[in-house]
Amino acid sequence: MMTMLGSAISAASPWFLLAAPIALGLLVYIFRVRGSSNTTVVSTLFLLKDLPQRPQGRKTFIPPLQFWLELLLFVSLSLAAANLISTKKGRHVAVLLDSSLSMGALASEGTRFEEAKTRATRDIADSSASTSFTVFSGSTHLEKLSSKPTDKTRSVERIESLELSQGKDSLQEQINQLVNDPSYDALWVYTDHPMEPPPQSSRIIVSSSHQKTRTDHNVWIQEVSRSTSPGPEQLLVSVRSTLQKGFAATIKTLCSSRSKSQELPSATVNIEPLQRTTVTITPLPEAWDYCHLTISSPLSTHTESIHIDNEAWVTKDQSLSRVTLQSSLTPDQLGLTKIPLITIASTIKPANPNEPLIIHRQSLNAPPTAASLLVMPPAGPLPWGGSVEESTAITIARWDDSHPIMRYVKPSLLSVPEARVLRCPVSAQPILFSERGPLLCAGESRGVRYAISGIELFPFDGAKTPTLSILLLNTLTWLFSNAGTTSANALPTTVPLPHDTTAVEYVAPSQEPLPITPLKTVTAPHAGVLKVTKATGDFLFFSLNSFYESESDLSLPRPITVTEGSAPPPTATARARELYPWFLSLALIVALADIVRRLRRRQGWGAA
Amino acid sequence: MVFDPQTLRLLDTFATRTRRSFYGIRQGAHRSQRRGHGVEFAEYRSYELGDNPRYIDWNLYARSDKVYVKRYLEEETVSFFIVLDGSRSLTHPDLRIKWESAAHLAACASYIALASQDPVTISVLGGTHSPSFWGAKAFTSVRRFLDTIPSPSPDSVPDGLDIVDAARRAATRVSFPGICLLISDFLYPLEQVAAMLGSFRARNMEIHAVQILGPSDLDPSPGSFGGTLVDSETGEPLGLSLDQNSRERYAQALSAHIERVRQHCYGAQVQFTSSIAKEPLAQASIDTLTHMGLFV
* Closest chain A C-alpha to B87 CA, distance in angstroms: 10
User: What is the residue extent of each domain of chain A?
Assistant: 2-38+59-83+579-607, 92-212+557-572, 219-316, 319-483
Best residue of A30, A44, A603 to probe chain B, by most B CBs closer than 10 Å: A44
pLDDT digits (tens, 9 = 90+) for B243-260: 777 788 888 999 999 999
Instruction: Tell if the CB–CB gap between A67 and B224 is shorter than 8 Å.
Output: yes
CA distances from A522 to A89, A143, A496, B114, B233 (A): 43, 19, 7, 78, 83
B187 touches chain A (CB under 8 A): yes
pLDDT digits (tens, 9 = 90+) for B121-134: 999 887 777 888 88
pLDDT of residue A572: 46
pLDDT at position B224 over 60 = no
CATH 2.60.40.10 fits A219-316, yes or no: yes
Q: Which residues of B touch A61 (CB under 8 A)?
A: 225
Give the residue from chain B lying closest to A606, CA to CA.
B278
Matching fold, domains A219-316 and A319-483: no
pLDDT of residue A606: 38
- When the pLDDT of each residue in chain B is averaged and rounded to a whole number, the result is 84
pLDDT digits (tens, 9 = 90+) for A107-160: 777 888 888 888 899 988 888 887 888 999 988 778 888 888 888 888 999 888
pLDDT of residue A484: 39
| Confidence grade of residue A594 (pLDDT, cut at 50, 70, 90) | confident
Instruction: Tell if the CB–CB gap between B230 and A43 is shorter than 8 Å.
Output: no
Question: What's the fold here for domain B80-292?
Answer: Rossmann fold (3.40.50)
Q: Which residues of A touch B154 (CB under 8 A)?
A: 41
pLDDT of residue A412: 85
Instruction: Tell if the CB–CB gap between A51 and B246 is shorter than 8 Å.
Output: yes
Task: Please count the other Cβ atoms lying within 10 Å of the Cβ belonging to residue A491.
Answer: 24
Q: Which residues of A touch B187 (CB under 8 A)?
A: 43-44, 46-47
The stretch A500-525 carries a mean pLDDT of 84
Instruction: Tell if the CB–CB gap between A50 and B241 is shorter than 8 Å.
Output: no
pLDDT of residue A453: 94
Q: Which residues of B touch A65 (CB under 8 A)?
A: none
Best residue of B91, B92, B151, B225 to probe chain A, by most A CBs closer than 10 Å: B225
pLDDT of residue B209: 93
pLDDT at position A486 over 50 = no
The DSSP string of B186-251 is --S-HHHHHHHHHHHHTTT-EEEEEEEE-HHHH-----TT-EEEEETTT--EEEE---HHHHHHHH
* Closest chain A C-alpha to B94 CA, distance in angstroms: 7
Best residue of A28, A34, A40, A66 to probe chain B, by most B CBs closer than 10 Å: A40
Helix axes B139-148, B96-115, angle to 10 degrees: 160
Q: What percent of chain B has pLDDT over 90?
A: 20
pLDDT of residue A26: 85
Count Cα atoms within 13 angstroms, Cβ side, for B79: 20
B236 touches chain A (CB under 8 A): yes
| Confidence grade of residue A553 (pLDDT, cut at 50, 70, 90) | confident
pLDDT at position A521 over 80 = no
Helix or strand holding residue A144 (H, E): strand A142-144
pLDDT digits (tens, 9 = 90+) for A176-213: 888 888 788 888 888 888 777 776 666 777 777 655 45
* Closest chain B C-alpha to A601 CA, distance in angstroms: 12
Instruction: Tell if the CB–CB gap between B231 and A45 is shorter than 8 Å.
Output: yes
pLDDT digits (tens, 9 = 90+) for A335-366: 887 775 566 655 555 456 667 888 999 888 88
| Confidence grade of residue A319 (pLDDT, cut at 50, 70, 90) | very low
pLDDT of residue B290: 87
Q: Which residues of chain A approach chain B closer than 8 Å at the C-beta?
A: 31-32, 34-54, 56, 59-64, 67, 604-608
Instruction: Tell if the CB–CB gap between A42 and B240 is shorter than 8 Å.
Output: no
pLDDT of residue A210: 54
pLDDT at position B203 over 60 = yes
Best residue of B100, B185, B240, B279 to probe chain A, by most A CBs closer than 10 Å: B240
pLDDT of residue A88: 67
Weakest-pLDDT range from A71-85, A573-587, B86-100, B252-266: A573-587
The stretch B50-67 carries a mean pLDDT of 87
**A-B contacts at Cβ under 8 angstroms:** 131
pLDDT of residue A53: 65
Weakest-pLDDT range from A49-58, A359-368, A545-554: A49-58
Weakest-pLDDT range from A222-236, A352-366, B58-72: A222-236
pLDDT at position A377 over 80 = yes
| Confidence grade of residue B108 (pLDDT, cut at 50, 70, 90) | very high
Q: Nearest by CB to B250, from A41, A48, A606: name it.
A: A48
- Using CB atoms within 10 Å of the CB of residue A48, give its burial: 0 to 12 exposed, 13 to 18 middle, 19+ buried: buried
A538 versus B258: the higher-pLDDT residue is B258
Instruction: Indicate the CATH number for domain A92-212+557-572.
Output: 3.40.50.410
pLDDT digits (tens, 9 = 90+) for A66-113: 888 888 888 888 888 888 887 766 788 899 988 888 888 877 778 888
Which architecture does CATH list for A319-483?
3-Layer(aba) Sandwich (3.40)
Sign for the CA dihedral angle at A26, A28, A33, A34 comes to positive
B189 touches chain A (CB under 8 A): yes
Quick check: B84 and B106 in contact, CB under 8 A? yes
Instruction: Tell if the CB–CB gap between A608 and B219 is shorter than 8 Å.
Output: yes
Q: What percent of chain A has pLDDT over 90?
A: 7
A424 versus B96: the higher-pLDDT residue is A424
The stretch B72-84 carries a mean pLDDT of 87
pLDDT of residue A440: 93
Instruction: Tell if the CB–CB gap between B250 and A59 is shorter than 8 Å.
Output: no
Q: Which residues contact A314 (CB under 8 A, 6 or more apart)?
A: A224, A225, A226, A235, A290, A291, A293, A485, A543
pLDDT at position B81 over 60 = yes
